[in-house]
Structure 1
Amino acid sequence: MAAGWWKVLKTVPWSEVIHAAPQVATGARRLWDTVARRSGTMPPPGPIIDEIEPQEDVFGIVMARLDKNETTVGELRGQMLSASEIIANLADQNAQLIAKMDVIRTRMLWLGVATGVSSVLALVALALVAART
Structure 2
Amino acid sequence: MAIGWLSILKAVPWTDVVSNAPKVADGAKKLWETVARKKAPTGTSASATSDTSSPAGQEARIAELAGELDRLQQEMLASSQLLKTLAEQNAQLVRRVYWQSRLLLVVGLIAVAGLTLVLLR
Q: State the TM-score, normalizing by the size of structure 1.
A: 0.49
| Aligned counterpart, 1:117 | 111
Checking the alignment, whether the CA contact within 8 Å between 1:31 and 1:88 is kept in structure 2 is no
CA distance in 2, matches of 1:74, 1:41: 9
For 2:22 and 2:112, how far apart are their aligned partners in 1?
Answer: 40
2:96 to 77, 80, 102: 102
Compute the displacement of 1:121 (Å): 4.7
RMSD: 3.8
Find the counterpart in structure 1 of residue 7 from structure 2: none
For residues 17 and 106 of structure 2, the distance between their equivalents in structure 1, rounded to whole angstroms, comes to: 21
Partner of 2:24: 25
Q: Which runs of 4+ in 1 moved over 6 A?
A: none
Q: Does 2:77 correspond to 1:79?
A: no
- Separation in structure 2 between the aligned mates of residue 21 and residue 100 of structure 1, nearest angstrom: 15
Pair 1:113–1:107, CA change in 2 (3 A): same
TM-score by length of 2: 0.52
- How far apart, in 2, do the equivalents of 1:27 and 1:108 lie? 34
| Contact preservation (8 Å) 1:31, 1:84 | yes
Letter in 2 for 1:94: E
Number of equivalences? 98
Larger Rg: 1
Percent identity over the alignment?
A: 11
Residues 33 and 25 (structure 1 numbering): CA distance in 2 closer, same or farther, change over 3 Å?
A: same
| Greater RCO, CA 8 A, separation 6+ | 2
Which residue does 2:9 correspond to in 1? Answer: none
Q: Can you give the 5+ residue segments of structure 2 that lack an aligned partner in the other structure?
A: 1-12, 43-47
For the 8 Å contact 1:25–1:95, the answer to whether it is kept is no
